[in-house]
Amino acid sequence: MSGQRQGFRPPGTVFASSSTLPLAAASRPGVGHPPFSATGVFTSTAPQRHLNFRMPPLQTQTAEALATLQKLSNEYEPEIEGPLVGKRQSSQAITAEYQNADEIFVRKTAVLPQKYSHYRTVKGDGNCGWRAIAFSYFETLHRIGDKGRILEELTRLKSLNNLLNQAGFAEHLYEDFVQETLNLLSEIAYSLPTSSDDAGLLKAFNDPGISSAIITHFRLLTSAWMKTHVEAYQPFLLEDTVEQYCASQIEPYQVEIEHIGMNALIDALILPAGLAVEILYLDRSVGVEVNSHKFERMDASGAPLNPDAPTFRLLYRPGHYDILYKIEDVAALMSSPTNLQVAYATPVTYGTFQPVPVVPVSSDMSTYLEIPGMSTPFVPVTPSAMSPDTYTSPVSPALSTFSTTTLPLRPVGDIGGFRPSKYELEAEFHPSPMPNLPFQTPTFRNSHFNPAHFRNSDFQPEMWKPDTADSGRGHKDDSSRH
Amino acid sequence: MAGGQKRIGKELAEVTKDPPEGITVSLVSEADIYNWDIQLEGPEDSPYAGGTFKLLLALPTDYPFKPPTLNFKTKVYHPNVSNDDKGSMCLGMLRSEEWKPSSKISGVLRTARNLLIEPNPDDAVETQIAEQYKSSRKDFDKIARDWTKKYAKA
């Protein structure tokens, strides 16, 4: 489990028996990040190790003792460890984290790595939702790898200063925050196309000064956006005016983002950048998979305006956001963001549902992926070109089932001579070019061409064995020959 | 942190050039921009009138992402100032969960002075003083005036 949540104990719980203490701590950062213990229930052990304070029986407490307790409670800061933004890692870790949790979590987290192979922790310090969106915004622009587009974003964000002015923020107070955002954007833009890893972004986001400034900039933007689009957000606020809500929930530095703030942040920052966000909700709701909701630009009828908009994903667990990746996003992040060469292979395994393109192969990386059974010459893969820390296998052996796919294939009769396969494609089948499709077929995942196996020393590729694959006929042939 | 220093410099310039009413600001030491000396004149319509109160405003190194702290160096009888050698002043806007990086120090100082005119007994650090402020205002005013005479007049 991600280190930072392990240390969490809700500070309020030590006083659980007292209803008379209005615990300010309950609104403190960190409390919004309930601890998920391995059993999937909120851990409620008293935080004695933090609060070195032995509680006398309630009835004997004097006002002074209560005041002391209140003071301790007010000053309580949960111990949060770990980097502000962590390294990308296999989402098998999430499965492992929940292996002893209740059935719903086990089921949902078991299938999670099949679709979302990697994830990245974000520190739960009261800013995780903001930080997760901010980091992903930069990372996705970097992944797209289009310098012009990043410079456009830089101009757009600069011009949004007008919105900040309109909302009444003083320029000399916000300009330092905005500057950090612009600096990082231009750093990314000018690092292209040579930089292909996330080291620069990680470094910037783990610098508290830069990270905090960017988050503050985005908070102010969100606040200004809400104040200038009151009609869109007021209906969702029950008691507060938009002005009050921004003052108490958006602008203060350590207040965690709520759903409405998330909406406004996405409206102000992400959608106008031509990006989309998908949030996956891991909770106890009924279902086999995590629920997801995609935030994207839509027309009046609710149809997406740009269904192919580059999308990033967040994993939401009550009170906490982390960043989630699909395997193809990771592949794109791993390869250099220069022009991609896309080759298309004859779909051997996909058949009716999707044609299979060979994964984008960049000229400067020798990551070479191909489909088993193709006659393309095999280019050796240099494992050192991959980041070994991040590219662990997203496929759990237990999970990779050999599902049957419907294929437009028909068995070919014994035609003698060389035949690459006993199956042949229907003549009218043509693959349509579709770039960047995921490699999710069992055949690919279990083949030695999947680079995800590089770190798995126990990996055994599927092999064709003449004895077992076609044993019946083979033996008959053998016997008839003798 | 360079960013924080730049911001503090800007705010110091602003407060020096256009100080809030009844407030004078200077640095404790020229070499240290994180500690500010504040001279606060007791507001006219309060029991603190006629006194000059010395305060220390301390800015954290990660300012403006963390709030400053404000301490009375001059003893003062007030429900929201701790009656000890620290003299901590409890301002809502300085709580870490309420602090906004876009707040200004001049705003903090203005709020502090307003609290002398209008104490907030429901959010008190000195509960007994708050009790007295609510139940027998005259006694409160008298002690506050006496303390002002005793401690806040040079």
pLDDT attached to residue A374: 43
Query: Pairing between strand A423-425 and B23-29?
Result: unpaired
CATH code: domain of residue B75: 3.10.110.10
Give the lowest-confidence range in A8-22, A169-183, B105-119. A8-22
Q: Could you tell me which chain A residue has the CA closest to the CA of B10? A: A172
Nearest CB neighbour to A173, from listed B2, B97, B102: B102
Counting Cα atoms < 13 Å in the Cβ hemisphere of B146 gives 6
Cβ-count burial A190-206 (b if 16+ within 10 Å, e if not) = ebbeebbebeebbebbe
pLDDT attached to residue A254: 87
The pLDDT tens digits of the residues spanning B82-113 come to: 998 889 998 889 988 899 999 999 999 999 99
The pair phi, psi for residue A80, each rounded to 5°, is -120, 125
How sure is the predictor about A379, in pLDDT bands with cuts at 50, 70 and 90?
Answer: very low
User: Across residues A440-448, what is the average pLDDT?
Assistant: 64
Q: Give, as one character, the DSSP assignment of residue B19.
A: P
The pLDDT tens digits of the residues spanning A61-101 come to: 577 777 777 777 766 665 667 899 999 999 898 998 888 88
Nearest CB neighbour to A251, from listed B7, B66, B100: B100
User: Across residues A339-360, what is the average pLDDT?
Assistant: 45
- A216/B102 touch (CB, cutoff 8 Å), yes or no: yes
Choosing from B12, B33, B90, B143, the catalytic residue is B90
- Most confident option among A197-201, A473-477, B96-100: B96-100
Look up B135 and say whether it is catalytic.
Answer: no
Nearest CB neighbour to B6, from listed A27, A29, A176: A176
pLDDT attached to residue A405: 43
User: Across residues A137-158, what is the average pLDDT?
Assistant: 94
Residue A427 has pLDDT above 90, yes or no: no
- A248/B96 touch (CB, cutoff 8 Å), yes or no: no
Share of chain A above pLDDT 70, in %: 54
Mean pLDDT of chain A: 72
Share of chain A above pLDDT 90, in %: 35
Q: Structural domain of residue B73, as residue ranges? A: 2-151
- B102/A255 touch (CB, cutoff 8 Å), yes or no: no
pLDDT, greater one: A55 or A65: A65
Give the lowest-confidence range in A106-115, A372-381, B78-87. A372-381
**In chain A, where are the structural domains located?**
3-75, 89-332, 343-394+425-446
pLDDT attached to residue A29: 41
The pair phi, psi for residue A319, each rounded to 5°, is 85, 0
Q: What is the DSSP string of B23-67?
A: EEEEEEETTEEEEEEEEEEPPTTSTTTT-EEEEEEE--TTTTTS-
pLDDT attached to residue A301: 87
Please report residues of B whose CB lies closer than 8 A to that of A245. none
Which residues of chain A approach chain B closer than 8 Å at the C-beta?
27-29, 63, 67, 126, 169-170, 172-174, 176-177, 180, 208-209, 212-213, 216, 220, 247-248, 251-255
Query: Pairing between strand B69-72 and B52-58?
Result: antiparallel
How sure is the predictor about A396, in pLDDT bands with cuts at 50, 70 and 90?
Answer: very low
Class of the A89-332 domain?
A: mainly alpha
The pLDDT tens digits of the residues spanning A292-333 come to: 999 999 988 888 888 899 999 999 988 899 999 998 888 776
Residue A373 has pLDDT above 50, yes or no: no
How sure is the predictor about A453, in pLDDT bands with cuts at 50, 70 and 90?
Answer: low
Say if B97 is an interface residue toward chain A (CB within 8 Å): yes
- B97/A27 touch (CB, cutoff 8 Å), yes or no: yes
Report the domain count for chain B: 1
